Amino acid sequence: MTAKRVLTALAATAAASLTVTATAATTSTAAPARPAACGAGYVGLTFDDGPSGNTTKLLDALRQNGLRATMFNQGQYAAANPSLVRAQVTAGMWVANHSYTHPHLTRLSQAQIDSEISRTQQAIANAGGGTPKLFRPPYGETNATVKSVAARYGLTEIIWHVDSQDWNGASTESIVQSVARLTNGQIILMHDWPANTMAAVPRIAQTLASRGLCAGTISPQTGRAVAP
191 and 127 Cβ atoms separated by less than 8 Å: no
Concerning whether 48 is annotated as a catalytic residue, the answer is: yes
Catalytic residue among 48, 49, 166, 192: 48
Tell me the CA distances in angstroms from 28 to 14, 24, 228, one per residue in order.
21, 6, 21
Concerning whether 60 is annotated as a catalytic residue, the answer is: no
Catalytic residue among 98, 166, 191, 192: 191
Helix (H, G, I), strand (E, B), or coil: what is residue 98?
coil
How far apart are alpha carbons 92 and 213 in whole angstroms?
18
Q: Which residues pair with 46 in a beta bridge?
A: 70, 189
Helix (H, G, I), strand (E, B), or coil: what is residue 130?
coil
Under 8 Å CB-to-CB from 107, ≥6 apart: which residues?
Answer: none
How far apart are alpha carbons 32 and 30 in whole angstroms?
7
Q: Which residues are identified as catalytic? A: 48, 191
